[in-house]
Amino acid sequence: MGKVLVIDYKMGNTDSVLRAVEKCGGEPILSNSISDFENASHIILPGVGAFQKGMENIEDLGIKRILKEQVFKHKIPFLGICLGMQLLAQKGFEHGENSGLGWIEGSVQKFEKTNKDDRIPHIGWNEVNFKKENLLFEDIEFGQDFYFVHSYHFKCKNPSNIIATTPYCGEFVSAVRKNNIFGLQFHPEKSQKLGFIILKNFLSFA
C-alpha cells in the first residue's frame, strides 16, 4: 500500500481521519497537491459542513480534474465520508441548488421528519443495515451502530448503488458504492472498533 491521500479542502475533521488511517495500518498524508494525487494508492474525501462550500473549495483548489482522473482512469479506490459522500451526488439542495461531483446519480436533500421523535440534525449512534454483501462490511454484523452528524441525506436514483440504509426520518441511505467509489454518511473514524474495521476493509481494496 502506498500513501493514503486525505484531501485537504478546508472542510474540517481531517485530524481524526488521519489518526484513524494510521491506526488502521495506512500511511496518511493530508494534501491537495497534484503530485500527491498521482502517488496515492487510496483517496479519502472527508468533510463536515455545507455542500455548496465543499464544492466551491474543490473548484477553487483546482483539484476536480485530477481527482476524477485518478478515480476513473486509474481506478484508485476512493472513500467519501459524511459531506465527502454527499458531494458524490449530481446535485445538493443546501443553500439553494448546487452541482456536485456527479459520480453517483442522485441528489442531497434535507431530512423531513416522519414522526415527533425525529430530531434534525441527526446526531449520535444509529444502526447501519447493509443491503448486500460488500467488502466494506466484512467481519461486521448486520445492524451495528455507527456515529452520525448530518441534516442532509443522499437520495440515490439507482438502487444498485445503495449498500446500506439507516432507519431515521423513515429510512435514508447510509452507504453507497459504484465500482471503486465508496461513500459513508456516518463517521468511521468516530465509530470506534467497528469504524476502524471498515477503514481497514477499504484500505485492503486494490
Residue tagged active-site, from 42, 150, 153, 189: 189
50 and 11 Cβ atoms separated by less than 8 Å: no
**Is residue 195 within 8 Å of residue 202, measured between CB atoms?**
no
Residue type, 86: Q
Which of 24, 82, 122, 156 is flagged as catalytic? 82
Rounded Cα gap, residues 142 and 155, in angstroms: 22
For the chain, the domains span 3-203
> By three-state DSSP, how is residue 186 classified?
coil
For residue 130, what pLDDT is reported? 92
One digit per residue, the tens of pLDDT, for the chain of length 206 reads 689 999 999 998 899 999 999 999 999 999 999 999 999 999 999 989 999 999 999 999 999 999 999 999 999 999 999 999 999 999 999 889 999 999 999 999 999 888 878 888 999 999 999 987 789 999 999 999 999 999 999 999 999 999 999 999 999 999 999 999 999 999 999 999 999 999 999 999 98
Among the options 42, 150, 153, 187, which is catalytic?
187
Assess whether 189 carries a catalytic annotation.
Answer: yes
Task: Note the pLDDT of residue 66.
Answer: 98
pLDDT of residue 116: 79
Grid coordinates belonging to 152: 442532509
**Closest to 31 (Cα-Cα) out of 19, 45, 20:** 45
Residue 122 designated active-site: no
| Active site (annotated) includes residue 156 | no
CATH superfamily placement of domain 3-203: Class I glutamine amidotransferase (GATase) domain (3.40.50.880)
Q: Whole-angstrom Cα distance, residue 193 to residue 196?
A: 5
